[in-house]
Amino acid sequence: MAPSTLTINGETLTFEAGQTILDVARGAGIEVPTLCDYKDTTPTGSCRVCVVEVEGARTLLPACVTQAAPGMVIQTESSRVVEARKMVIELMLTSGNHNCLICEANGACELQALAYRYQVPFPIYAQPPDTPSYLEDNKHLIRRDLSKCIMCGRCVRACQEKQVNMAISIGYRGAHNKIVARGDLPYGDSDCVFCGECVQACPVGALVELKALGQARSWETEKIRTTCAYCGVGCQLSLHVKDGKIVKVTGVEDGAPNKGRLCVKGRFGYDFIYSPDRLTTPLIRDKKGGELREASWDEALDLVADKLKDIIAQHGPDAVAGVSCARSINEDSYQMQKLFRAVIGTNNIDHCART
């Protein structure tokens, strides 16, 4: 059976059944802008930024929810498409408080980027900066500013489909609809577990990390990929670093095994590395009851090995027990239990996250 084909911007492309126009375009390296589309979630076609012109169609069609069909002839940047996108972007700017100069998302805002790409001027009748809006800043980990929300629904799908926490949804109707948490309660009183997936999904400045406020502009930070140290899963993190200090953490979208997902500790629990009480070198006692002093790793490990040997010689291997740290990777925990069972000769080995 011959593969189905369609034409996008004069280029003939093949596609598989079930693919959308957006899927086919992206597969061919053709960029179709969108604000509501979010990877690994159900497309909704709510933002209407991805509209394209399909020959024979009465209206412009949203590429993210329109199924590709054989023989389609599509234009993604025709004058009609561009004018429609400019109008949609202008309406979004008009309906909210988008003061880019002081917005935390400045430089990383997808709406701002599209306004620049299509040269959409700031609307004359846009809401002024002092427009009353719902701003939730209650000393929790996430700040919500619904005056900047464009109702793309990405945060809801991130919560419901990626994390499956079901903590937020779209509430009310018409011009009054907005994102709500458990009957329109503050985040702190809702079912939110503060994983922060909604913050990472937000394309504008409606959801931001409270701890990151005012710490750095997006272009001032360097992204450094690393592995989360809180448990053995191995979630991939992007550390946003300015002047050698972490200002926020996001999940690596294509990084296995988490695919961008993080828990509350992985996303927000990085302060401990700056604690003045954190040990930076091993401490040992030369004699029982003596004062702790700094030592090298070789000296500290030799001392531990000698003490274990003494205990085993006097009382047998079952007098020794080990607890593996939950922050260790699975391979390290495996090696530790191997050390206790095969070398020391005891099964007294446990894991601090087992319970």
Tokens of 167: 């903590």
- Provide, rounded to the nearest whole percent, the portion of the chain with pLDDT above 70: 94
Mean pLDDT over residues 159-180, rounded?
92
Confidence of residue 123 (pLDDT cuts 50, 70, 90): confident
Ranking 11-15, 33-37, 159-163, 188-192 by mean pLDDT, the lowest is 188-192
Expressed in angstroms, the distance from the first to the final Cα of the chain is: 56
DSSP, res 191:
S
Confidence of residue 131 (pLDDT cuts 50, 70, 90): low
pLDDT above 60 for 347: yes
Mean pLDDT over residues 237-264, rounded?
95
Coil/strand/helix, residue 68: coil
Q: pTM for this structure?
A: 0.83
Residues 336 and 323 sit within 8 Å (Cβ to Cβ):
no
Q: Is the peptide bond before 62 cis (omega within 30 degrees of 0)?
A: no
Which pLDDT score, from 0 to 100, does residue 156 have?
97
Confidence of residue 256 (pLDDT cuts 50, 70, 90): very high
Please give the C-alpha separations between residue 233 and each of 105, 158, 195, 258, 265, in angstroms, as whole numbers: 30, 20, 16, 8, 13
Ranking 17-26, 93-102, 321-330 by mean pLDDT, the lowest is 321-330
Mean pLDDT over residues 249-253, rounded?
95
Mean pLDDT over residues 335-341, rounded?
94
Confidence of residue 1 (pLDDT cuts 50, 70, 90): low
Q: What is the mean pLDDT of the chain?
A: 91
- pLDDT digit string (tens) for 176-204? 888 999 888 888 889 999 999 999 999 99
pLDDT above 90 for 162: yes
